[in-house]
Amino acid sequence: MFIDFFYLLRNYGVPVSITEWMTLMEALGKGLAASSLMSFYHLARTVLVKSEAHFDRYDLAFASYFTGVETPIELTEKVLKWLENALPPRFISPEERKQFQKWDLDELRRQLEERLRTQKGEHHGGGNWIGTGGTSRFGHSGYNPAGVRLGGQSVNKSAVKVAAERHFRGFRTDETIGVRQFEVALRKLRQLSTKVDGPKEELDIDETIKETGEKGGLLQLVWSRGRKNMVKVALIMDSGGSMVPYLRICSQLFTAINRSTHFKDLRFFFFHNCVYQHIYLDPSCQVRNSIKTEDFLRLLGPEYKVIFLGDASMAPSELLMVDGAIDWYYSNPEPGIVWLKRIADHFSHSVWLNPIPAAYWNRTFGSYTINLIREVFPMYELTVEGLEGAIKKLMVRK
């Protein structure tokens, strides 16, 4: 049952397992959907969706699969005319609710086609024809949990209509969002020192009292090592050129990292398209405000977590050739790819964040250089989900 819906959910990125799907089938078999499309919407979401981050994808898939039930293309102006003079919504007793049919998509479409073929005029308050204010499966302002709304305003909110409103769009983690979401993701980059790291700088009150008591009141100060964040981070950002369209989202990430107070050390560096023998200290990328990349590698030890931020898109010559740098006044005696590999080899942990969606990495300008750089650095999309994946990679112990 609904096996196409299962595959559609998977296509939309909802990680539905066979076990969860069989659980849903078991729930349907026990009548937990109450013969209602709305109940089925909530039941399926409860059983199949493991994280609120996937609610929006679920809504998109649901709306795509069931939208034909909400607004059949066979509606004609004549049918809409029948529904103009609507009766007000009325209360449906528990006894009346028991008579409603079970919800079945194919049967529903068949019945609607039959009504459109045979109905001759408007009906209100009934339970069979297309009308208003009654218990028919077709119309509006009435009640039938196994029916659909045609025209009018929603009273009970059909499941497809609710799904189409996409209330959970803001819960997605695969889309670029804002500073706050980036800050929350970055907190996962904390790595506290252990009891055997660093100097003993904090007074241990409990141990001091214990040792003093054991020495008959003679004060014995006991010092311990504090629990401090030991992470050092270097953010290296591509500036100008093809990065201009991504200025806003890159600025949000920059702000989030700059606000972070839980790093032992935080450094910012810049480059244009690729790193060569100089790395810059501000976004203007002027040689007069730069340091040699060799000095950069001596200055920062291998314990730094390095995050590159750039679209990795450039002419192949800029990455692979001597003197391939796009700045005419700038000569590079070694190809940029050589310097990138040196940086990757120097630091124990490094990643690359790309503002271009991953779906376009193989079919956009610069796809060739994107894939070459992916062979040097693990590359992730510049989304909250991508940043979380990058952080997990940075936190792997080696």
Task: Report the C-alpha gap between 80 and 190 in whole angstroms.
Answer: 60
Candidates 142, 69, 78; CA nearest to 112 is 69
All residues at 6 or more sequence positions from 254 whose CB lies less than 8 Å from its CB, including other chains: 235, 237, 268
Instruction: List b or e across 71-92, with b for residues whose CB sees 16 or more CB atoms inside 10 angstroms.
Output: ebeebeeebeebbeebbebeee
CA dihedral (287, 291, 292, 295) in degrees, to 10, reads: 180
- The domain segmentation of the chain, as residue ranges, is 3-170, 199-228, 232-394
What tokens does 297 get?
Answer: 């590698």
Instruction: Give the DSSP letter string of 41-71.
Output: HHHHHHHH--SGGGHHHHHHHHHHHHHHHHS
Q: 180 Cβ partners below 8 Å, 6+ apart?
A: 256
Q: Which two tokens stand for residue 285?
A: 């990328």
May I ask the CATH architecture of the domain 232-394?
Answer: 3-Layer(aba) Sandwich (3.40)
SS3 of 234-279: the string is: EEEEECCHHHHHHHHHHHHHHHHHHHCCCCCEEEEEEEECECCCEE
pTM (global) more than 0.95: no
Residue type, 235: L
Q: Print pLDDT tens along the chain (398 aa).
A: 578 888 889 888 888 999 998 998 888 888 887 666 778 888 888 899 887 667 878 888 888 787 654 444 444 455 555 554 555 555 555 565 555 445 555 566 666 667 666 766 666 656 566 656 566 655 555 545 555 555 454 444 445 555 555 555 544 544 445 666 677 777 777 654 444 445 677 788 888 999 889 888 888 898 876 666 678 889 999 988 888 888 888 887 887 877 776 778 889 999 999 999 999 998 888 888 999 999 999 999 999 999 999 999 999 999 999 988 887 567 889 999 999 999 999 999 999 999 999 989 998 888 999 999 999 999 999 888 888 899 889 888 76
